[in-house]
């Protein structure tokens, strides 16, 4: 079915109620769809196609149905009085009915469509078909966006490199040059930064010599440059730098906003030596020849993009534009990561659909009429621009002309007239078609246009011509609506919205010249894309003021980009920076391993007394404790021939205990252990216990570790300088629990290495990147100066979080890092950790955002009291915001939860800041790890080292890009090492038990 209407007494039309519409759909949709298809195929109508069904079909918003209501009446319902009337009062039967032979669609051999009805059916596109057209357009759009299918796509989806719409702050003087069909227009636009409410515009039009469009390309651009020169001379020739926006209404392949290669000429242009060349460069060269060196071409766009930009000058932003003129096109703000032909991956970019070529692959063949086929065959580009030839006003007059030729041949129009004139191409202009469909003057206009051609139309002829014109234009509006609905649904889906609310800028002769076009476009779009709320905005000089807006926005974004880059530059590390960090880490490692130099090293390189990794022979039951944050775990681990089985329970350590006395802390730990043993029925057993204690310790034996300092928010008194295993044993005595057998104390890093070593014997490195960060690795005993012995290897707990505490990394610390460090409970300590770990990244981002707000680069410079709150921007927000393909409205939602009123551009910038901070963290981690693997390779005298890193930590596991960036940079910095990463499964729990298991394995007879 098409779109159903109530035909009101005053001649207007409105959507029927949903119930009425559903009833009509159920009764007639299949019949009408079939009749339209039969008519297009030239088949006779079915017997069940009565007059009333035909007359019920109408176009949304149109005051008159597509089909005649009664024979012998004009389109307004007036009875015809001329000799051409089908009937008179005398012709009626006794009951006032017309004779059967004169009733509409009635023939002596049964009900049938008249030729006029058939023509109208052919030009009617059912709603179901419009839905199908919408679906085909969406598929064509996807093909145009994809790098793999772009080359063969009919809807080209060309990136414009316009990544923002006006925000009202644009100001300054701008020069615009517009290349038109027969002239060049130059404009001087002054924006006042007042929300773009009152731009000041001066312009001049220069007529173009007729032969220039067919001549040399150089002559064309020289002429444009001469127009610019004359125009500037006429307004006083300003000598300051003048940015120029160039409106070039032809299909181009853009690679930057100011770089675009012409794909092909159209609209009667065929200048030589231009196709395949950068038209911006050609114009700039021509301008320079005029000695206008202060004029810079900064942006190129087509009329469609200009329409979108000018419609966004007032009120809310406009994100879609539609041109329905001699040709047709559209553009919209697409999600940048979907525009695969461009390198932009964040934010949005305006895409020029070039949808006029939609259907060139035959996807519109089911709606093409014989009239459309003839128009295409007579065009200068047969088989091309098929959608444009159905919609653009350049072709509508031709479609009507061919329909009239067919009807005249069937003797239902222009009886007694010589219709040979209708065979002359372009004899009926589209402007005349638009005048004819006017409800008030249309019949008069129709008669006048036909009489000028030498025809002698009856009033009935004029009525039928008007009906054909209305059908052609209404179809164009409906097809435009299908295309627009495809764009809107694509936007809604790609932004993951339940409802899209959007402004659409519209321009063109059809939209402006036919008052019902807007109503049809709006209504049919609403039916085809019900999930979208659309406001159509008429464009005001989209090519002139719109081009000025594109240029102004480009300048605003360029200035904005320079300032943002300046603020983020200290966080962006070069390859040389990272190689320097790698060398410094290696230097500190050597100092930490030396007996004499250890005390002065920031990387402590603590021996763990773990001398081996699992070999698969470990068996038995073991207890494990895991203390490394606010949660404390107790586990029982059963290692058997069939693998490892575990049971565990998590206990909370309140802040008051974390920062209270050491005795209270270890008493609490002991209570948790006893509770777990009771629940697991282990109170009567004495099991070997591995204790994961994830704080810096100096280990004096496998079961003896002296706490060097607290980290991660702990500050329990009486613990620093004490053996933590002894503190645990003393708590057991206080609790009178005698079944405690601690055989090994390790940190979470060593536990991670051991847990992964059970699955991969090649795992000789442990890495933690979570709330904090640390690393360990198997070092040759001969290099460990702090422990006696030369044979074999020992795991070294690097405690690399303190790397840089001696000042060796001061050159890499930014002002943002210093602000974060000053507010921590251990200022000046754990400096490397504060650049990398999850506890601090959110705070670094917060300070960067505050700096951007201060520079009025974010949130429009408005004060953000909530952003002043320490730790308000948590590191988990980075992980969420940086998820690939995350819709920007979700970024805005995160910011709004923090009471930050973010625009679309703000959301893009916040994402960039998060990406910058997390990338630096991953790269610094890679530099540290590169120092480790290179040292291991050199220790073993290998040309190529193959090693596995057991890794754990929420930042590594949960952040969407951290692991990727880390591994890529490690490959770059240590090309002679093949490093495999294996994520740990409960390294701090299972790993501690495995350390105990390996220790027990070594003591067995």
226 touches 290 (CB < 8 A):
yes
What is the dihedral angle through the alpha carbons of 425, 428, 434, 436, rounded to the nearest 10 degrees? -150
Closest to 799 in 3D by CA, of 954, 585, 971: 585
Reply yes or no on whether the pLDDT at 904 is more than 60: yes
Reply yes or no on whether the pLDDT at 964 is more than 90: yes
Closest to 326 in 3D by CA, of 265, 270, 397, 269: 397
> What is the reported pLDDT for 509?
86
> What is the reported pLDDT for 112?
63
Q: How confident is the model at residue 482 (pLDDT cuts 50, 70, 90)?
A: very high
* Mean pLDDT computed over every residue of the chain: 85
Q: What percent of the chain has pLDDT over 90?
A: 58
pLDDT in tens, 154-184: 999 999 989 888 888 888 999 999 999 899 9
- The residue with greater pLDDT, 194 or 586, is 586
Q: Say which range, 231-245, 454-468, 761-775, 935-949, has the weakest mean pLDDT.
A: 231-245
Is position 470 annotated as part of the catalytic site? Answer: no
Q: How confident is the model at residue 315 (pLDDT cuts 50, 70, 90)?
A: low
**Strand 183-192 and strand 200-207: pairing?**
antiparallel
The rounded radius of gyration (Å) of the Cα atoms in the chain is 39
Is position 937 annotated as part of the catalytic site? Answer: no
Reply yes or no on whether the pLDDT at 51 is more than 60: no
> What is the reported pLDDT for 175?
95
Four-residue CA torsion sign, 366, 371, 375, 378 = positive
Rounded average pLDDT over 576-592: 97
pLDDT in tens, 717-769: 999 999 999 999 999 999 888 778 898 898 889 989 998 988 898 999 999 99
Q: How confident is the model at residue 345 (pLDDT cuts 50, 70, 90)?
A: low
Is position 109 annotated as part of the catalytic site? Answer: no
Reply yes or no on whether the pLDDT at 442 is more than 50: yes
Q: Long-range contact list for 106-113, CB < 8 A, 24+ apart?
A: 106/51, 110/47, 111/45, 111/47, 111/48, 111/49, 111/50, 111/51, 112/44, 112/45, 112/47, 112/49, 113/35, 113/39, 113/45, 113/49, 113/54
> What is the reported pLDDT for 59?
37
Task: Please name every residue paired with 13 in a beta bridge, in sequence order, or none if there are none.
Answer: 7
> What is the reported pLDDT for 893?
85
DSSP string of 321-364?
A: EEEESSSEEEEEEEEGGG-TTSS--SSEEEEE--GGGTTTTTTT
> What is the reported pLDDT for 866?
87
- If phi over 0 gives left and psi between -120 and 50 gives alpha, with beta otherwise, what is residue 268? left
Catalytic residue from among 507, 748, 906, 952:
748
978 touches 946 (CB < 8 A):
yes
> What is the reported pLDDT for 890?
81
What's the half-sphere exposure (Cβ side, CA atoms, 13 Å) at 745? Answer: 26
Rounded average pLDDT over 972-992: 89
pLDDT in tens, 927-960: 999 999 999 999 999 999 999 999 999 999 999 9
> What is the reported pLDDT for 1003?
56
Structure letter (DSSP) for residue 220: H
Reply yes or no on whether the pLDDT at 314 is more than 60: no
- CA atoms of 696 and 279, how far apart (whole Å): 64
Phi, psi of 415 (to 5 degrees): -60, 130
Rounded average pLDDT over 391-404: 95
Q: How confident is the model at residue 313 (pLDDT cuts 50, 70, 90)?
A: low
Catalytic residue from among 474, 489, 694, 984:
694
Token pair recorded at residue 142: 């996807």
| Alpha helices (H) in 358-458, listed in sequence order | 370-378, 386-391, 393-409, 430-436, 442-452
pLDDT in tens, 543-572: 788 889 889 988 988 899 999 999 999 999
For tokens 């054909």, what's the residue? 468
Reply yes or no on whether the pLDDT at 16 is more than 70: no
pLDDT in tens, 248-285: 988 888 888 999 999 989 888 999 999 999 999 999 99
Catalytic residue from among 516, 633, 729, 937:
633
- The residue with greater pLDDT, 140 or 539, is 140
Rounded average pLDDT over 866-882: 88
Token pair recorded at residue 187: 């404009």
Reply yes or no on whether the pLDDT at 293 is more than 60: yes
Closest to 909 in 3D by CA, of 549, 557, 492, 555: 557
Most confident of 63-67, 89-93, 101-105, 676-680: 676-680
> What is the reported pLDDT for 619?
87
Q: Mapping DSSP to helix (H, G, I), strand (E, B) and coil, where does residue 649 land?
A: strand
592 touches 604 (CB < 8 A):
yes
- CA atoms of 595 and 225, how far apart (whole Å): 77
> What is the reported pLDDT for 712?
79
Rounded average pLDDT over 837-859: 94
Q: What percent of the chain has pLDDT over 70?
A: 88
Q: Mapping DSSP to helix (H, G, I), strand (E, B) and coil, where does residue 59 land?
A: coil
Reply yes or no on whether the pLDDT at 71 is more than 70: no
Q: Say which range, 52-61, 583-592, 638-647, has the weakest mean pLDDT.
A: 52-61
């Amino acid at each position: 079915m098409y779109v159903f209407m109530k035909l009101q007494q005053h001649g207007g039309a409105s959507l029927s109620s949903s119930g009425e519409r559903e009833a009509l759909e159920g009764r007639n949709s299949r019949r009408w769809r079939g009749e339209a298809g039969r008519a297009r195929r030239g088949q006779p109508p079915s017997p069940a196609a009565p007059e009333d069904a035909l007359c019920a079909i109408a176009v949304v918003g149109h005051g008159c149905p597509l089909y005649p209501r009664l024979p012998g009446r004009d389109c307004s319902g007036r009875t015809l009085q001329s000799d051409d009337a089908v009937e008179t009062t005398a012709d009626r039967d006794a009951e006032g009915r017309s004779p059967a032979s004169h009733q509409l669609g009635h023939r002596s051999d049964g009900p049938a469509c008249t030729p006029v009805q058939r023509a109208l059916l052919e030009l009617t596109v059912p709603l179901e078909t419009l839905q199908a057209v919408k679906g085909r357009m969406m598929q064509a759009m996807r093909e145009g966006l994809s790098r793999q299918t772009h080359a063969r796509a009919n809807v080209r989806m060309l990136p414009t490199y316009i990544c923002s719409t006006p925000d009202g702050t644009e100001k300054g003087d701008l020069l615009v040059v517009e290349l038109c069909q027969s002239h060049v227009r130059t404009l001087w636009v002054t924006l006042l930064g007042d929300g773009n409410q009152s731009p000041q515009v001066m312009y001049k039009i220069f007529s173009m010599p007729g032969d220039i469009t067919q001549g040399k390309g150089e002559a064309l651009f020289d002429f444009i440059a001469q127009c610019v020169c004359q125009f500037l001379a006429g307004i006083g020739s300003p000598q300051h730098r003048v940015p120029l926006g160039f409106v070039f209404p032809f299909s181009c392949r853009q690679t930057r906003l100011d770089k675009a290669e012409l794909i092909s000429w159209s609209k009667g242009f065929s200048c030589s030596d231009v196709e395949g060349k950068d038209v911006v460069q050609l114009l700039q060269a021509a301008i320079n020849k005029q000695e206008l060196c202060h004029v810079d071409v900064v942006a190129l766009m087509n009329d469609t993009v200009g329409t979108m930009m000018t419609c966004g000058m007032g009120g809310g932003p406009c994100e879609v534009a539609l041109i329905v003129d001699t040709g047709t096109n559209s553009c919209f703000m697409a999600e940048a990561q979907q525009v695969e032909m461009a390198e932009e991956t964040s934010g949005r970019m305006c895409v020029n659909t070039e949808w006029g070529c939609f259907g060139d692959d035959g996807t519109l063949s089911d709606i093409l009429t014989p009239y459309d086929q003839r128009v295409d065959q007579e065009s200068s580009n047969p088989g091309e621009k098929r959608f444009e030839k159905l919609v653009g006003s350049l072709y509508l007059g031709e479609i009507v002309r061919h329909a009239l030729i067919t009807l005249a041949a069937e003797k239902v129009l222009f009886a007694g007239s010589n219709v040979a004139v209708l065979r002359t191409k372009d004899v009926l202009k589209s402007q005349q078609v638009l005048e004819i469909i006017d409800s008030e003057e249309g019949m008069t206009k129709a008669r006048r246009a036909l009489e000028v051609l030498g025809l002698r139309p009856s009033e009935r002829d004029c009525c039928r011509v008007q009906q054909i014109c209305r059908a052609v234009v209404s179809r164009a509006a409906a097809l435009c609506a299908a295309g627009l609905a495809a764009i809107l649904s694509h936007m809604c889906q790609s932004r993951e919205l339940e409802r899209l609310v959007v402004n659409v800028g519209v321009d063109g002769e059809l939209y402006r010249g036919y008052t019902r076009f807007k109503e049809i476009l709006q209504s049919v779009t609403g039916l085809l894309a019900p999930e979208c709320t659309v406001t159509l905005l008429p464009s005001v000089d989209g090519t002139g003021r719109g081009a000025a807006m594109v240029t102004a926005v480009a300048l605003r974004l360029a200035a904005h980009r320079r300032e943002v880059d300046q603020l983020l530059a200290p966080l962006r590390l070069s390859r040389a920076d990272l190689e320097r960090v790698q060398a410094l880490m290696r230097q500190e490692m050597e100092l930490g391993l030396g007996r004499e130099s250890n005390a002065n090293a920031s990387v402590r390189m603590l021996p763990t007394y773990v001398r081996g990794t699992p070999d698969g022979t470990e068996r038995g039951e073991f207890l494990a404790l895991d203390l490394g944050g606010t949660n404390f775990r107790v586990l029982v681990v059963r290692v058997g021939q069939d693998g490892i089985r575990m049971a565990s329970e998590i206990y909370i350590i309140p802040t008051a205990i974390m920062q209270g006395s050491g005795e209270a802390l270890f008493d609490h730990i002991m209570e948790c252990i006893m509770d777990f043993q009771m629940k697991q029925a282990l109170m009567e057993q004495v099991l070997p216990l591995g204790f994961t204690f994830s704080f810096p310790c100096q280990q004096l034996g496998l079961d003896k570790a002296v706490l060097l300092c607290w980290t991660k928010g702990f500050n329990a008194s009486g613990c620093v300088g004490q053996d933590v295993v002894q503190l645990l044993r003393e708590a057991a005595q206080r609790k009178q629990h005698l079944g405690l057998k601690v055989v090994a104390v390790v940190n979470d890093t060593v536990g991670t290495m051991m847990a992964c070593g059970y699955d991969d014997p090649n795992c000789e490195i442990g890495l933690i990147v979570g709330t904090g960060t640390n690393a360990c690795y198997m070092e040759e005993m001969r290099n460990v100066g702090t422990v006696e012995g030369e044979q074999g290897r020992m795991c070294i707990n690097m405690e690399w979080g303190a790397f840089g505490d001696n000042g060796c990394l001061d050159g890499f610390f930014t002002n943002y890092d210093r602000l974060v460090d000053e507010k921590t409970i251990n200022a000046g300590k754990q400096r490397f950790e504060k650049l990398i770990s999850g506890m601090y990244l959110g705070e670094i981002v917060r300070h960067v955002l505050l700096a951007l707000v201060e520079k009025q680069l974010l949130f429009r410079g408005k004060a953000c009291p909530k952003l002043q709150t320490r730790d308000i921007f948590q590191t988990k927000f980075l992980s969420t915001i940086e998820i690939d393909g995350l819709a920007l409205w979700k970024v805005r939602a995160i910011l709004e939860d923090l009471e930050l009123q973010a625009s679309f551009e703000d959301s893009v910038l916040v994402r960039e800041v998060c990406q910058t901070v997390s990338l630096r963290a991953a790269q610094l981690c890679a530099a540290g790890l590169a120092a480790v693997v290179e040292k291991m390779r050199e220790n073993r005298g290998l040309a190529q080292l193959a090693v596995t890193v057991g890794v754990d930590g929420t930042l590594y596991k949960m952040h969407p890009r951290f692991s990727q960036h880390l591994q890529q940079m490690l490959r770059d910095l240590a090309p002679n090492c093949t490093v495999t990463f294996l994520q740990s499964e409960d390294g701090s729990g299972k790993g501690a038990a495995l350390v105990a298991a390996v220790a027990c394995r070594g003591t067995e007879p």
